[in-house]
Amino acid sequence: MIKEIRSYNRIEQYDEETTTILAENYKSIIANLGENVNREGLQKTPERAAKAMQYLTHGYGLDPLEILKSALFTEDHKQMIVVKDIEVYSMCEHHMLPFFGKAHVAYIPNGKIVGLSKIPRIVDAFARRMQVQERLTDEIKNCIQDALEPLGVAVVIEAQHMCMCMRGIQKQNSVTTTSSFNGAFEKNKTRKEFISLVSNKLS
């Protein structure tokens, strides 16, 4: 697993034992697909794939709740705070193919705010795991709720899934949108305000 320093900045260090085990498995997979693992272009592919997979799933080594708690501030602000167009890259747990898109996150403070950079960080921490989009949406919302205890949280994710574009039904332009709301955002007026603020990015 990729090691993380306490400031949550990723560093390019990989566990040697994990890399070796994964590389051997990738080598077997490539061979069983009918390829020659010894030809020039594939000789280092198992190791590269092993490191890539560790990076794509490095969210397992992060604690999203602690990331948020590391930058909480007392502030008497009662209006909606929105962070939109957060890039999302994740791995579908059903076919181990990527899905990617944008997340839009909002909360209404109740005496505490969080450093704005921490919201994209927790989105990434949850996304860099084996996921389904529905659970990812809920996990982001629940983490913000647990850390800040705000008046409400709203999360919308829109993403394209390679398991739909590259295989199966093969619909290249399909976009999946998921949402999760609680507290004040369960009221239609508040929810509409949030949607209007990000509507230029939502279909």
Active site residues: 92-95, 133, 161, 163
Q: In degrees rounded to 5, what are phi and psi of residue 126?
A: -75, -35
Count CB atoms within 10 A of the CB of residue 96: 12
Q: DSSP readout, 52-92? A: HHHHHTGGGG--HHHHHHTTEEE----S-EEEEEEEEEEEE
Q: DSSP readout, 98-128? A: EEEEEEEEEEE-SSEEE-TTHHHHHHHHHHS
Q: What is the DSSP letter of 31?
A: H
User: In this structure, what token pair is assigned to residue 76?
Assistant: 């008497």
User: In this structure, what token pair is assigned to residue 143?
Assistant: 């983490």
What residues are paired with 74 via a beta bridge? 112
b/e 148-184 (16+ beta carbons within 10 angstroms → b): bebbbbbbbbbbbbbebbeeeeeeeeeeeebbbbbbb
